[in-house]
């Protein structure tokens, strides 16, 4: 099945000619695409097509209230700010018709329609799979998201634009950018592939390095990397292992006063020692007599 071979004037390849085995064989250069038969079955055509949104048929029902959710608003903001990154997944059930079944990307279709778009880039699936391909993808972890934001800023993207793309306020972006400040490398390694809110590391900063590692190990072992768990561990942290508590201030007395106090204590100890030495003989005799009397 090749949509480009059908009589569909409205369906156009986004990058026509990008897959040209003939030109590659002649040594004209181009993308590094396989020339021999593949050992694995491709799930999609190698070309990407622009398909009118009116020709897309949903494969599942959109729940009421979806357009008011935070996730949907983030999708709209992201497409409006930087465009559609991931093409839709579609299949053409009947080559004789111009309709395409939407396998994945229902929220993106709603967002594109809201933004006034008429077409969308689509990947043509070879099989009508019953699952969404996105469900087989590992989601971006919180630490990886932090690295992604840092890299975007290093490349000149402003924090304000990132906030608009994610549909969050600027303070939320700043928390994600400064996610790992004050966190020891060992704790970061434990959190590499985990999902958690930035407030978790904010609490971990109040602990010293060794306690941070211990706290993260406990949260990972129980699979509850949450703010409530982190706060409970912080409260159970001894004062000497906390970084947010100042050490107790020492008694700011002068050296002369300390010497006088020490002399008084030594004098009292010496007096008690002499009393014990004088009474040692009589006390021992009394104990011996009392012991003999007790045994009789």
Span 193-220, pLDDT tens digits: 999 999 999 999 999 999 999 999 999 9
**Contact yes or no for 105/60 (Cβ under 8 A):** no
| pLDDT recorded at residue 249 | 57
Question: pTM value?
Answer: 0.54
**Half-sphere CA count of 88, side-chain side, radius 13 A:** 29
C-alpha dihedral over 73, 75, 78, 80, to 10 degrees?
-80
Confidence class for position 37, pLDDT limits 50, 70, 90: low
Burial class (CB in 10 A: 0-12, 13-18, 19+), 88: buried
| Phi, psi (degrees; rounded to nearest 5) at 239 | -55, -35
- Asked if 13 and 87 count as a contact pair (C-beta separation under 8 A), the reply is no
Query: What is residue 191's predicted lDDT score, i.e. its pLDDT?
Result: 94
Burial of 111 (0-12, 13-18, 19+ CB in 10 A): buried
Which pLDDT value is given to residue 6?
46
Could you tell me the strand order of the sheet in which 44-52 lies?
A: 12-13, 44-52, 119-125, 88-91, 100-104, 56-58
Which one has a higher pLDDT value, 137 or 287? 287
Q: Which of 66-70, 111-115, 251-255 has the highest mean pLDDT?
A: 111-115
Beta carbons within 8 Å of 21's beta carbon, 6+ residues apart: 33, 35
Buried b or exposed e, range 140-154, using 16+ CB within 10 angstroms: eebbebbeebeebee
């Amino acid at each position: 099945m090749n949509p480009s071979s059908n009589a569909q004037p409205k369906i156009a390849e986004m990058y026509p000619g990008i897959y040209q085995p003939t030109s590659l064989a002649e040594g004209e250069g181009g993308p590094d695409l396989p020339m021999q038969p593949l050992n694995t079955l491709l799930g999609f055509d190698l070309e990407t097509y622009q398909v009118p949104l009116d020709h897309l048929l949903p494969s599942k029902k959109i729940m009421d209230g979806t357009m008011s959710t935070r996730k949907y608003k983030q999708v709209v903001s992201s497409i409006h700010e930087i465009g559609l990154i991931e093409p839709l997944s579609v299949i053409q059930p009947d080559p004789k018709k111009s309709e395409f079944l939407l396998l994945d990307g229902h929220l993106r279709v709603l967002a594109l329609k809201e933004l006034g778009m008429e077409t969308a880039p689509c990947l043509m699936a070879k099989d009508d799979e019953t699952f969404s391909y996105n469900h087989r993808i590992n989601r971006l972890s919180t630490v990886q998201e932090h690295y992604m934001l840092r890299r975007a800023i290093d490349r000149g993207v402003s924090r304000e634009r990132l906030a608009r793309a994610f549909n969050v306020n600027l303070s939320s972006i700043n928390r994600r950018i400064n996610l790992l400040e004050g966190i020891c490398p060992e704790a970061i390694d434990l959190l590499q592939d985990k999902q958690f809110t930035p407030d978790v590391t904010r609490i971990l900063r109040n602990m010293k390095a060794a306690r941070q590692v211990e706290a993260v190990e406990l949260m990972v072992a129980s699979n509850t990397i949450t703010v409530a768990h982190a706060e409970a561990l912080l409260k159970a942290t001894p004062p000497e292992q906390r970084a947010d508590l100042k050490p107790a201030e020492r008694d700011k007395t002068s050296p002369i006063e300390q010497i006088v106090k020490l002399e008084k204590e030594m004098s009292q100890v010496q007096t008690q020692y002499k009393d014990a030495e004088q009474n040692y003989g009589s006390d021992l005799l009394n104990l011996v007599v009392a012991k003999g009397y007790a045994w009789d």
